[in-house]
C-alpha cells in the first residue's frame, strides 16, 4: 500500500512538473490595440541646413512590449508622422526617453504578465515563466535589492540584442541619428559594432545609433542613479561624460537628473559639446505638479541653492536643467524627453521641454504622445 501511494505521489509530482515546464514554454499572443497618433507640441526655430533636435515623448504600455514587432509598429508610426511633417532629414537627431529600452525585459512573455494589475504581480509572472533564468540571475545579483537586480539581469543578453535591433533598425530605416533613451544592463560595452553585456553591476545606460544603424561610441552610463534605483543600479564613473560627433554637431548625453549637476555641463564644455540630449523619466501620475523632493541621489551640488518643496517637480526640472545657459553650459540647444504611459500601477508624469538661447520651451498639455522640435 505504501509503495502504491509513493508511486502515485511520484507520478503526480512528475506530471505537475512536466505541466509546469510545458506552461513556461507557451507564449500565446493576445489582441493588440494601441493609439499610434502623435501631436507636434513644440516647433522652435526656422528650418535651415544645420539639422534639428527632435524629441519623441511616447505613450507606452506593457502590451507595446509584448514583441519587438509591436514596439517597432508604434515607434515607427511616430517617426513616419514626423517625416510627414518635414521634421526628418540627414542631420536630424532623434531623442527617446529614459528606460524606453529597459522594459524590453518583459518582451515575449505570457498574456498574464501584461494583464497584471500591479508591477509586483507582473514581476511574479516574469520569474514564474522563466524559472531557470531567474534563479541563475538571482545567484549572480548584486546590490542591496537583489530581487530587482535579478529581474533586470535575467534576460540581459536578449535585451541588449533587441535594443540594438530595434533602435539601430529605426535609425537606419528613417536615416537619422537616434539617441535610444536608456536601458539597464550589466556592465555594457560596444565591441566590433555590437552592444555586449558583461558581468558585474547593472548600469542605466544610453547608446546612440547613426544613420547606418551602427552604435556611435560607447554607452553613456548614468552618473547619479535616483534613490529608488540605487539598490540595483550602480553609479557610473563621475569622470566619464561622453561627447559624440553627429552630422548636426557634437552631442553630449546626460541621463535623467544627471542634467541637474553643473559640473556635468563643464565636462561637456571641455569636450566642445554643442548639443545636449537628456533622456528622462518621472514616476507617478501627479508627481510633476507635486512639490520637488530635492536631489534624487546622494550628492547635492554646492552651487545649487534650490531647497526641497520650494518649487514643483516640473519647475525644478526647468530650473535645474542648465542646457544653453552660459557660462555653465556652452551648448547651443538641448532637449529633455520624458516617458509617458502606464506600466501596471506605475504611472508617469514628466513633460518634455526644449532649451535654446538660454530659454525653456515646453508644452503644457502632456496627454498623449508628443513631438518637440528645435531647428539648429
Q: Which residues pair with 343 in a beta bridge?
A: 346
- Inside any domain, residue 277: yes
- Inside any domain, residue 302: yes
The predicted structure's pLDDT at residue 155 = 97
With a cut of 80, say whether residue 24 has pLDDT above it: no
User: Residue 127 — φ and ψ, nearest 5°?
Assistant: -70, -40
With a cut of 50, say whether residue 327 has pLDDT above it: yes
What's the mean pLDDT in 56-72?
96
- Inside any domain, residue 151: no
What's the mean pLDDT in 215-244?
91
Candidate from 207-211, 219-223, 226-230, 250-254 with smallest mean pLDDT: 226-230
The predicted structure's pLDDT at residue 32 = 64
The predicted structure's pLDDT at residue 370 = 96
With a cut of 50, say whether residue 15 has pLDDT above it: no
**In angstroms, rounded to a whole number, what is the distance separating the alpha carbons of residues 218 and 243?**
10
**In angstroms, rounded to a whole number, what is the distance separating the alpha carbons of residues 43 and 372?**
6
| Residue 100 three-state SS | coil
Percent of the chain with pLDDT over 70: 90
- Extract the runs of DSSP E, i.e. beta strands, from the chain: 39-44, 52-57, 59-60, 92-95, 177-179, 183-186, 189-191, 194-196, 202-209, 215-221, 243-246, 249-253, 275-280, 333-338, 340-343, 346-347, 353-356, 359-362, 370-375
Whole-number average pLDDT of the chain:
90
The predicted structure's pLDDT at residue 354 = 95
Read off the pLDDT band of 3 (50, 70, 90). Answer: low
What's the mean pLDDT in 109-135?
95
- Inside any domain, residue 9: no
Residue 171 makes CB contacts below 8 A (sequence gap 6+) with 94, 177, 178, 209, 210, 211, 212, 213
For residue 262, the domain's CATH number is 3.60.110.10
- Inside any domain, residue 195: yes
What's the mean pLDDT in 173-201?
96
DSSP secondary structure string for all residues of 223-236: SS--GGGTTTBPPP
**In angstroms, rounded to a whole number, what is the distance separating the alpha carbons of residues 233 and 212?**
31
**In angstroms, rounded to a whole number, what is the distance separating the alpha carbons of residues 182 and 325?**
25
Task: Tell me which residue of 3, 68, 39, 119 sits closest to 368, measured CA to CA.
Answer: 39
Contact criterion met (CB below 8 Å) for 357 and 345: no
Domain that holds residue 336: 36-104+156-375
The predicted structure's pLDDT at residue 16 = 44
The predicted structure's pLDDT at residue 228 = 87
pTM for this model (two decimals): 0.91
pLDDT digits (tens, 9 = 90+) for 332-367: 999 999 999 999 999 999 999 999 988 999 987 667
The predicted structure's pLDDT at residue 23 = 42
The grid coordinates of residue 87 equal 521634421
What's the mean pLDDT in 76-90?
97
- Inside any domain, residue 357: yes
DSSP secondary structure string for all residues of 288-319: GGSBP---SSS---TT----TTSSBHHHHHHH
- Inside any domain, residue 29: no
How many structural domains are present in the chain?
Answer: 1
Contact criterion met (CB below 8 Å) for 362 and 318: yes
pLDDT digits (tens, 9 = 90+) for 271-296: 999 999 999 999 998 999 999 998 87
With a cut of 80, say whether residue 25 has pLDDT above it: no
Measure the CA angle with vertex 176, ends 223 and 51; round to 5°. 90
Contact criterion met (CB below 8 Å) for 54 and 373: yes
- Inside any domain, residue 118: no
User: If 0-12 CB within 10 Å is exposed, 13-18 middle and 19+ buried, where does residue 56 land?
Assistant: buried
With a cut of 70, say whether residue 121 has pLDDT above it: yes
The predicted structure's pLDDT at residue 18 = 44
Read off the pLDDT band of 246 (50, 70, 90). Answer: very high
The predicted structure's pLDDT at residue 2 = 58
pLDDT digits (tens, 9 = 90+) for 159-185: 999 999 999 999 999 999 999 999 999
| Residue 2 per-residue DSSP state | H
Read off the pLDDT band of 303 (50, 70, 90). Answer: confident
The predicted structure's pLDDT at residue 1 = 56
Amino acid at each position: 500500500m505504501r509503495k502504491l501511494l509513493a508511486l502515485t505521489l511520484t507520478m503526480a509530482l512528475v506530471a505537475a512538473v512536466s505541466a509546469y515546464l510545458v506552461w513556461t514554454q507557451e507564449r500565446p499572443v493576445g489582441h493588440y490595440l494601441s493609439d499610434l497618433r502623435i501631436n507636434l507640441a513644440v516647433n522652435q526655430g526656422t528650418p535651415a541646413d544645420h539639422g534639428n533636435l527632435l524629441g519623441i515623448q511616447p505613450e507606452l504600455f506593457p502590451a507595446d512590449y509584448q514583441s519587438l514587432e509591436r514596439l517597432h509598429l508604434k515607434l515607427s508610426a511616430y517617426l513616419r508622422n514626423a517625416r510627414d511633417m518635414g521634421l526628418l532629414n540627414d542631420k536630424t537627431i532623434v531623442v527617446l526617453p529614459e528606460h524606453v529600452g529597459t522594459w524590453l525585459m518583459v518582451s515575449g512573455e505570457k498574456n498574464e504578465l501584461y494583464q497584471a494589475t500591479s508591477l509586483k504581480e507582473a514581476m511574479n509572472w516574469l520569474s514564474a515563466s522563466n524559472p531557470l533564468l531567474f534563479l541563475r540571475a538571482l545567484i549572480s545579483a548584486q546590490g542591496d535589492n537583489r530581487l530587482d537586480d535579478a529581474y533586470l539581469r535575467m534576460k540581459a543578453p536578449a535585451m541588449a540584442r533587441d535594443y540594438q535591433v530595434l533602435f539601430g533598425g529605426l535609425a537606419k530605416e528613417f536615416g537619422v541619428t537616434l539617441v535610444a533613451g536608456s536601458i539597464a544592463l550589466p556592465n555594457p560595452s560596444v565591441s566590433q559594432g555590437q552592444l555586449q553585456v558583461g558581468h558585474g553591476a547593472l548600469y542605466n545606460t544610453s547608446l546612440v545609433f547613426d544613420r547606418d544603424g551602427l552604435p556611435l561610441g560607447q554607452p553613456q552610463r548614468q552618473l547619479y542613479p535616483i534613490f529608488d534605483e540605487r539598490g540595483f543600479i550602480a553609479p557610473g564613473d563621475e569622470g566619464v561624460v561622453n561627447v559624440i560627433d553627429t552630422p548636426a554637431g557634437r552631442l553630449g548625453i546626460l541621463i535623467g537628473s544627471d542634467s541637474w549637476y553643473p559640473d556635468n555641463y563643464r565636462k561637456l564644455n571641455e569636450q566642445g559639446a554643442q548639443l545636449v540630449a537628456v533622456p528622462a523619466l518621472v514616476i507617478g501620475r501627479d508627481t510633476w505638479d507635486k512639490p520637488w523632493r530635492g536631489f534624487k541621489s546622494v550628492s547635492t551640488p554646492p552651487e545649487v541653492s534650490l531647497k526641497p518643496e520650494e518649487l514643483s517637480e516640473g519647475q525644478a526640472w526647468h530650473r535645474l536643467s542648465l542646457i544653453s545657459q552660459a557660462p555653465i553650459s556652452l551648448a547651443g540647444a538641448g532637449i529633455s524627453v520624458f516617458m509617458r504611459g502606464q506600466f501596471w500601477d506605475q504611472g508617469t508624469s514628466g513633460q518634455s521641454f526644449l532649451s535654446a538661447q538660454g530659454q525653456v520651451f515646453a508644452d503644457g498639455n502632456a496627454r498623449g504622445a508628443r513631438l518637440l522640435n528645435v531647428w539648429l
